[in-house]
Structure 1
Amino acid sequence: MAETTSEKKINPMLKMGLELGPIVVFFVAYLRLRDQTIEIGGTAYDGFIVATAGFIPLLILTTGILWKLTGKLSKMQVATLVLVIIFGGLSVWLNDERFFKMKPTMIYLLFGGALGVGLLRGQSYLKIVMEEMMPLKEEGWLLLTKRLTAFFIGLAVLNEIIWRTQSTDTWVYFKTFGLTAAVFVFFMTQGKIFQDYALEEETEEG
């Protein structure tokens, strides 16, 4: 699915539903299946693996619908989908939940690493993705990118600590609610950057 330049406008609630729906369905499916073992083709799978197996095609479907309706997918959406297919697929194929639990680590390392490479080149790759949403001066973009790079790497480390030391229940709650809340809180606390480095709209005196 390639990123296109023209984006069609759709209902924001529909867009949010397509983006968050698979995560919610995974969470509900896991809660219902976590104490069950299901035998498929002579192999026993626990509830986590079964919920993961359902999550992958659902995410492919909703991402495809989003692409069809908007005519555009961000690089982050494409990268997330690819990593879900790879790591989720490995978990199901090898019947090993660890691969799917590693997926957020890989995603955040990928995003943080990409932003870091841009910073080493004196550029803000974040600006390329979000410039239309948040018009900022170059200094503001670089500062926000540095903070977001450190934030993504921190989330990657945190995910590793949680899935390696805590129960599957704890990790699922962290994945469903903790990571989403952390990203929301991060941007909410960057208000001073948006205030200090906002581009002033040009006005014509007449």
Structure 2
Amino acid sequence: MTAETAGAPRQKVNPVLKLVLEMGPLVLFFLANYKPELFKPLVERFMAPALFEGPSGNIFTATAVFIPATVIALIAGLVLTRHIPVMPLVSGIFVLVFGVLTLWLQDKTFIKLKPTIVNTLFGLILLGGLAFGKPLIRIVLDAAFDLKPEGWRKLTLNWGLFFLFLAVLNEIVWRNFSDDFWTNFKVFGTMPITLIFAATQVPILMKYEVKPDSPDATEQSKT
């Protein structure tokens, strides 16, 4: 369930470069919304200048920058690692679809709904898989560690609920606050909240980690 070139081994990438690829498009989205004049000369070459005027001009500019930045980041990640994790791939597809709809229909609701739909999708996939005895968190997070079955179940449940929480939180923010507040929240709210939550899951990783020389590791290698 990961996108990899056939038969090509995954390459390791410098952690700083990996962070740039993951956060770069979002940072550009924030900058284009905050300082649209820096990007308008570029985006107006490809779209009608009138689109970027008016009260929604900033977020339309940010969306016009966000789409190619996301595509470039995905392509760069594929070239460097010969691998695209599930979450960035799915999120990138939704950025492309909802971003295009935002600009084509001139309706900023689409780009604001994107986090809600993506997080709801991941949450339902994880919880639905868990209901059928399939803890899918390892695939969704592209995890490189091994856990005992109970650890995968707990981690899947926690992340599934967390994704639904993010979906609800995004709905509350974009429906009740300004465009600028929502944009700032995407960068300075969602990411810190996610990092804090991920840190709270470390005890599960430590408790249920499968050691390379343990009986669990031997059993998992047979499956």
The reply to whether TM is greater than 0.5 is yes
Instruction: Tell me the matched-pair count.
Output: 200
Which residue pairs with 2:50 in the alignment?
43
The residue correspondences of 1:138-153 to structure 2 (distance < 5 A) are: 138-153=149-164
Runs of 5+ unmatched residues, structure 1: none
Which residue pairs with 1:22 in the alignment?
25
Paired residue secondary structure (1:95) = coil
Which residue pairs with 1:190 in the alignment?
201
1:149-204 Cα deviation digits (max 9, x unpaired): 1110011011001100111111011111211111111110122212321223427x
* Greater displacement, 10-19 / 101-110: 10-19
CA distance in 2, matches of 1:42, 1:145: 46
1:98 aligns with 2:101: no
Which residue pairs with 1:72 in the alignment?
83
1:61 aligns with 2:72: yes
The residue correspondences of 1:160-199 to structure 2 (distance < 5 A) are: 160-199=171-210
Shift of 1:31: 0.6
Aligned-residue CA RMSD (Å): 2.1
CA distance in 1, matches of 2:11, 2:168: 36
Which residue pairs with 2:122 in the alignment?
111
- Is the 8 Å Cα contact of residues 85 and 141 (structure 2) preserved in structure 1? no
CA distance in 2, matches of 1:41, 1:129: 38
Runs of 4 or more above 4 Å deviation: 37-40, 129-132
Shift of 1:77: 1.4
- Is the 8 Å Cα contact of residues 86 and 141 (structure 2) preserved in structure 1? no
CA distance in 2, matches of 1:42, 1:60: 23
Paired residue secondary structure (1:43) = helix
- Is the 8 Å Cα contact of residues 87 and 140 (structure 2) preserved in structure 1? no
Paired residue secondary structure (1:123) = coil
Which residue pairs with 1:3 in the alignment?
3
CA distance in 2, matches of 1:122, 1:42: 52
Identity %: 37
- Is the 8 Å Cα contact of residues 11 and 82 (structure 2) preserved in structure 1? yes
Runs of 5+ unmatched residues, structure 2: 215-223
1:118-153 Cα deviation digits (max 9, x unpaired): 111111111345575232110011011101111100
Paired residue secondary structure (1:96) = coil
